[in-house]
Amino acid sequence: MFGIGKSEEERRREKERKKRGMRKYGQSYLKPSRRGSISCWCTGGSLVILAGCILYAFLSRGKAAGIVGGLSVVSFVIDIYGMYCAVQGFLERDRRYLNCKIGLGVGVITLILFMAILVGGLG
């Protein structure tokens, strides 16, 4: 315990011991990246919105162009923001980057799907 009766060396050793934590070989537990979590939520939500637009357009046999177009543009914007958060998540120090990798991968897939639908609709 930090106290008046301890020497400077004892305080320093105790501080290092607490810093190391209770992990094997002194490795501390790494938390997931915050921006990576935001990225996963944004890109996943974007994918769900785009899939819902495709399903709604299929069920209405193409007669709901306004609402489907508007929601797909919103999905596109959310996807771009999710990919931006994934890239920013890689800049965080001492974090796990699995969420960033997943968010970036899902974002790229959603973006490719969006572009395929857009090019298919133009042709």
DSSP string, 16-71: HHHHHTTSGGGPPPPEEPHHHHHHHHHHHHHHHHHHHHHHHHHHTTT--HHHHHHH
Q: Residue 26: its pLDDT value, please?
A: 59
Number of domains the chain is built from: 1
> Does a structural domain hold residue 77?
yes
> Which token pair is 53?
């637009």
Least confident of 30-34, 73-77, 108-112: 30-34
Least confident of 22-26, 54-58, 93-97, 113-117: 22-26
pLDDT digits (tens, 9 = 90+) for 33-77: 899 899 999 999 999 998 998 888 888 887 878 888 888 889 999
> Does a structural domain hold residue 16?
no
CA-CA-CA-CA torsion sign (39, 40, 42, 47)? positive
> Does a structural domain hold residue 76?
yes
> Does a structural domain hold residue 86?
yes
> Does a structural domain hold residue 38?
yes
Phi, psi of 11 (to 5 degrees): -65, -40
> Does a structural domain hold residue 21?
no
Cβ neighbors of 53 (< 8 A, separation 6 or more) are 68, 71, 72, 75
Give me the residues paired with residue 96 across strands.
32
DSSP letter assigned to residue 92: S
Range of the domain at 87: 31-122
Instruction: Specify the residue for token string 């501080």.
Output: 15
Q: Residue 4: its pLDDT value, please?
A: 64
> Does a structural domain hold residue 39?
yes
> Does a structural domain hold residue 23?
no
Q: Is the pTM of this model over 0.85?
A: no
